[in-house]
Amino acid sequence: KNQVEQSPQSLIILEGKNCTLQCNYTVSPFSNLRWYKQDTGRGPVSLTIMTFSENTKSNGRYTATLDADTKQSSLHITASQLSDSASYICVVSAAGTASKLTFGTGTRLQVTL
């Protein structure tokens, strides 16, 4: 069964600090992995997308890494801002399917003063 697990479930950090969110998956055969940011009550917004051959991808203060061998990904947020407070969802796509995406349950990040 395809699964995506994220940790921690929630996180509180001070503004300006860095943090790293984790994603482990068992989706096979692997196609790509995406990180989305979702504000409360809003639709998810894509941050990064990585295929099998990509180890890292950055989008501003967000840097995602992928280890396809261990089936792990991380999202690193640098110099956090209050506006980073949101849920971060790891989404994995299996190759050869009708684009059924497997979503993690997300990490809820709160950035405080």
Distances from the Cα of 72 to the Cα of 25, 48, 80, 84, angstroms: 6, 15, 23, 22
46 part of the interface to another protein, by CB under 8 A: yes
- In angstroms and rounded to an integer, the radius of gyration of the C-alpha atoms of the chain is 14
The two beta strands, 86-94 and 30-38, are antiparallel
Choose which of 41, 69, 70, 113 interacts with another protein (CB under 8 A): 41
98 part of the interface to another protein, by CB under 8 A: yes
Alpha carbon distance 13, 28 (integer Å): 34
29 part of the interface to another protein, by CB under 8 A: no
101 part of the interface to another protein, by CB under 8 A: yes
DSSP run (H or E) holding 52: none
Choose which of 25, 31, 35, 92 interacts with another protein (CB under 8 A): 31
11 part of the interface to another protein, by CB under 8 A: no
- List interacting residues with another protein (CB under 8 A): 4, 31, 34, 36, 41-46, 49, 89, 93, 97-101, 103-106
